[in-house]
Amino acid sequence: MALARKSPAAAVTRMVSLSNYSRKGSITAGRLGRLPAAWPGEARTRVPTLEPAALPCHMRRMHKPLSAADSIPVTPLAAEVERRRTFAIISHPDAGKTTLTEKLLLFGGAINLAGQVKAKRDRRSTRSDWMAIERERGISVVTSVMTFDYDGRVFNLLDTPGHEDFSEDTYRTLTAVDSAVMVIDAAKGIEARTRKLFEVCRLRDIPIVTFVNKMDRDSRDPFELLDEIEKTLALDTAPMTWPIGRGRDFAGTYDIATGEVRLVSEDGRTVEPQPLDLPALAAKNPMLDAAAISEELALVKDACRRFEFNAFREGHLTPVFFGSALKNFGVKDLLDALASFAPAPRAQVSDKRTIDAHEGAMTAFVFKIQANMDPNHRDRIAFARLCSGKLRRGMKAKLVRTEKPITLSAPQFFFAQDRALADEAYAGDVVGIPNHGVLRIGDTLTEGEHIAFLGVPNFAPEILRRVKLGDPMKAKKLKEALQQMAEEGVVQVFRPLDGAPAMVGVVGPLQLDVLKVRLADEYGLDIGFEQPEFSLARWISCADAKKVEEFVLANYSSCAEDLDGDRVFMARNQFILDYTAERAPGIVFTDIKDVKKKG
């Protein structure tokens, strides 16, 4: 189902059917579909042949640097903040997200050789997928954080899990970014997981850059893909590059702004843009028709929407790039675009006021906990997004939840599993803070101000299971392990008030597999799962605390506490949940809890 547009302005219908557009004899006058009579506020110009000098530039030059806002004083702090670009990569599983992450790091100079996902001949593994289960299955199950420099910018890249079973981790990660790259499989288009993640980005007004991947394989018509994005996501598109050929005949991409072409190289190296010479291209590949390609590129210039910077920053429009992450193609164009027009750190909303990134006082919030990243040490890292100011190694910060000071003695920058000490960090950076259970997801750190950042959610689990322990003598160790896994966000733990064994709650079954593997590998615990009598869990609350206690006493065997001590009602099915809610006036049953509001 298509999403409602944020802008009431009607979109111009421009579906163009161009099947096999790059092959000989593919374009005829009767197959161009409907074109708009004119774009708003201008007369339509039809250019029959491709002459880059005669065509208007439909967008600002991608490599033009953006100056800081006029209202922001040019100070050393402001200059450092403006250099930051913090973004996530979102996609449906198997669209090539992790492969693109590897190649972005390669272009950023962070690694020398990118590992291909599930490579059969090359035994290198991807750097962003560092857990054993990720390497075995070729999927991402945790968010990886990687910091690198490129073209004078400092990038904080967050590689999110693509599988829906780890959606909680992904949603929390999206609260920590200022922009996102949406990866689309050229053969499959918009898929269910992509649509759901886009909805989260839209709720937060996160600007999105789109990368259409796998153009070197059999793929759909690019016009159809653009039309699907607009119709399914209610998001305007502005192609920045355009593919020349597809599948085995994919020759490169045409830069719509400059009129130049970047060709695919045999060895995967990046080739500098060069003037477009269609006859020479057609001579190298007899399946390419120079006349058809020329007419199609003219059509793209004439019919496709122009890139509008403000519309992009507001989340109404996405620039679109085409390429193949596996072949290193189109990745540099994407990275250049992020450096040029992805937003610098944005203001963050707290419970008291809006925090501007350029404020002098340091503020940050924890959006992720990761334990045992180093198997040789029982480490525990809290990933924090800096919202304002400057973090200095050794400084003291206030943990707002407990109102106690915490010393940031060893903040760290991360490159997946690897790390380096951060002597200083600025708003927009993501740093790791080693701790022993002091920090939790959603915690706010300040230099003294009593505020709490909003928007880091917990979701009610869709699957509840009791944990069966093979060795009863390890019950205490299991309790500690589940506590750490819950604090990390791997699972949610619910402890029934009547003393029954604890239950774990997850979004999908793959989370149970991860829990079982991690408890075995990291804690030496052999566990199993059994189906409890409950299938639903909802947080309960009321303005009158006495009513909550009365409800709990009346439903004692069906109530539990979560990690934070908040009360949870568990039901056998939806009917019982609805029945109970109808007979408990004033009690609010919710399936989402903002973890930053915990006491």
Name all domains of the chain by residue range, CATH numbers in brackets. Answer: 78-341 (3.40.50.300), 348-446 (3.40.50.300), 457-597 (3.30.70.3280)
Alpha-helical runs (H) found in 7-158: 76-83, 97-107, 132-137
The pLDDT, as a whole number, for residue 340 is 92
- Asked if 89 and 101 touch (Cβ cutoff 8 Å), the reply is yes
- Which of 64, 63, 100 lies closest to 329 in space, CA to CA? 100
Q: 3-state DSSP call for residue 204?
A: coil
Reading the block at residue 589, the tokens are 């049953």
Question: Integer distance in angstroms from the first to the last C-alpha of the chain?
Answer: 38
Helix or strand run (H / E) with residue 546: helix 545-554
The pLDDT, as a whole number, for residue 164 is 61
Q: 10-residue block means of pLDDT along the chain (599 residues)?
A: 38 34 36 35 37 36 40 80 93 82 76 38 41 47 74 87 65 89 93 83 90 92 94 94 88 90 76 84 81 88 91 94 90 92 94 94 91 64 94 95 93 76 93 88 93 82 89 90 85 92 87 88 90 94 92 95 92 95 93 62
Reading the block at residue 403, the tokens are 């109102």
* Cα distances (angstroms) measured from residue 447 to each of 399, 404, 444, 451, 466: 9, 11, 10, 10, 42
Reading the block at residue 573, the tokens are 């099915």
- Asked if 571 and 565 touch (Cβ cutoff 8 Å), the reply is no
Q: 3-state DSSP call for residue 298?
A: helix
- Asked if 102 and 96 touch (Cβ cutoff 8 Å), the reply is no
pTM: 0.73
The DSSP letter of residue 52 is G
- Asked if 62 and 240 touch (Cβ cutoff 8 Å), the reply is yes
The pLDDT, as a whole number, for residue 460 is 86
Altogether, the residues listed in the chain come to a count of: 599
d(C-alpha 311, C-alpha 205), whole Å:
11
- Phi, psi dihedral angles at 512 (to 5 degrees): -65, -40
d(C-alpha 406, C-alpha 180), whole Å:
32
